[in-house]
């Protein structure tokens, strides 16, 4: 049994301020165009993907370094899944570290493990949204967010 949570790490050619801004105020520019502001601790922000949505509580913000959300509500609409709220209780954490080659972005979705039904769908989604869309947004100004 593999219970390792989903992780992703990449180096972005953008300043930490731009990355932090993308993860708090500009989520609609790289994840989904229907995104609430996530720039204040204790905010509950909802992110919609058509009928599917996730509501996150912002639990920690360290400017230009760390963003942490906890999923408090989820409705994952997918006929291939028998459970629609597997993210509830999981934690999403982004850590930003300035290096001499850019900014290292480390992401872990704690609790998103291979044993969950939605894992493969979410693995593909996070891989696209972080390695392609977020990267493009912070490096060029134009991401590839979900848009219904």
Residue-number span of the structural domain to which 34 is assigned: 6-140
Residue 145 lies in a domain: no
Residue 147 lies in a domain: no
Domain total for the chain?
1
User: Which CATH number does the domain housing residue 99 bear?
Assistant: 3.30.530.20
pLDDT tens digit sequence for 97-144: 999 999 999 999 999 999 999 999 999 999 999 999 999 999 999 999
* Core vs surface per residue 84-123: b (16+ CB within 10 A) or e: eebbbebbbbbebeeeeebbebebbbebbbeebebbeebe
pTM: predicted TM-score of the whole model, two decimal places: 0.96
pLDDT tens digit sequence for 45-64: 999 999 999 999 999 999 99
């Amino acid at each position: 049994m593999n219970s390792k949570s989903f992780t992703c790490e990449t180096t972005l050619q953008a300043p930490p301020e731009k990355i932090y801004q993308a993860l708090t105020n500009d989520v609609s520019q790289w994840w989904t165009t229907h995104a609430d502001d996530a720039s204040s601790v204790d905010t509950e922000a909802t992110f919609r993907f058509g009928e599917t949505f996730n509501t996150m509580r912002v639990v920690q913000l360290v400017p230009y370094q760390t963003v942490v959300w906890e999923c408090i509500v989820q409705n994952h609409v997918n006929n291939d899944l028998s459970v629609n709220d597997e993210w509830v209780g999981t934690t999403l954490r982004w850590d930003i570290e300035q290096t001499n080659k850019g900014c290292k972005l480390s992401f872990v979705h704690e609790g998103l493990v291979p044993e969950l039904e939605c894992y493969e769908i979410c693995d593909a989604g996070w891989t696209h949204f972080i390695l392609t869309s977020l990267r493009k947004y912070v490096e060029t100004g134009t991401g590839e967010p979900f848009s219904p």
